[in-house]
């Protein structure tokens, strides 16, 4: 019995599981979306998120740790039938993905179930993909929406108050100028009347 033993065996030896996890994580980093079975996706997801957390640190020791965990395979692209090296997986992880998720506290990946089944063994297929930058969180709570609306309304009120105070200051300045000019006019007129 394997009571409370963490992780899935996936019908593989430990070395095979480690290699499969590294390959899936490297493919996820390279392509930003991969199709696999639900069990493999659930096993790779925490590993990929830990790598992205390392990339957010951006230090040399974090880079070395990521290389030790993942390896540093090349990213190859085919142009005009020839293989062209575009960089490395660790390079993309630390230069693109780390800065992309600096403001995000976690949840860098998501699993989307597909209606398709694998032909050979009828396994449930899913998409494992990195969360996009422009998307943010899909499910925005009502309280967060209300807070955003309140902040906008508060800011608008502050802007209106500032505009009103500026108008009042300008009106006071004009009144002060008018009173000064009337005082100077009355002073200049009085000597004319006396003569």
**What ranges do the domains of the chain cover?**
14-135, 140-195
Averaged pLDDT for residues 97-117: 95
The span from the CA of 43 to the CA of 49, in Å, is 11
Q: CB count, 10 Å around CB of 126?
A: 21
pLDDT in tens, 11-47: 999 999 999 999 999 999 999 999 999 999 999 999 9
Asked whether the whole model's pTM tops 0.95, one would answer no
How far is residue 93 from each of residues 53, 66, 75, measured CA to CA in Å?
A: 10, 9, 12
Percent of the chain with pLDDT over 90: 66
pLDDT in tens, 70-103: 999 999 999 999 999 999 999 999 999 999 999 9
Least confident of 46-60, 103-117, 137-151: 137-151
Pick the more confident residue, 183 or 171.
Answer: 171
**Which top CATH class is 14-135?**
alpha beta
Indicate whether 134 pLDDT > 70: no
Indicate whether 117 pLDDT > 60: yes
């Amino acid at each position: 019995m394997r009571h409370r033993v963490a992780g899935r065996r996936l019908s593989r030896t430990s070395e095979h599981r480690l290699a499969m996890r590294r390959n899936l994580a490297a493919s996820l980093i390279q392509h930003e979306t991969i199709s696999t079975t639900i069990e493999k996706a659930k096993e790779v997801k925490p590993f990929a998120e830990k790598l992205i957390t390392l990339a957010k640190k951006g230090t040399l020791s974090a880079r070395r740790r990521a290389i030790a965990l993942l390896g540093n395979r090349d990213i190859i692209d085919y142009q005009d039938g020839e293989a062209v090296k575009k960089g490395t997986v660790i390079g993309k992880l630390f230069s693109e993905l780390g800065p992309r998720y600096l403001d995000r506290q976690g949840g860098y990946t998501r699993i989307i179930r597909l209606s398709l089944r694998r032909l050979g063994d009828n396994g449930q297929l899913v998409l494992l993909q990195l969360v996009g930058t422009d998307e943010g969180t899909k499910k925005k709570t009502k309280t967060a929406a209300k807070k955003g609306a309140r902040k906008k309304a508060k800011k608008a009120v502050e802007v209106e108050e500032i505009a009103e105070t500026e108008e009042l200051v300008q009106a006071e300045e004009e009144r002060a100028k008018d009173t000064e000019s009337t005082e100077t006019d009355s002073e200049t007129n009085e000597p004319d009347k006396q003569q």
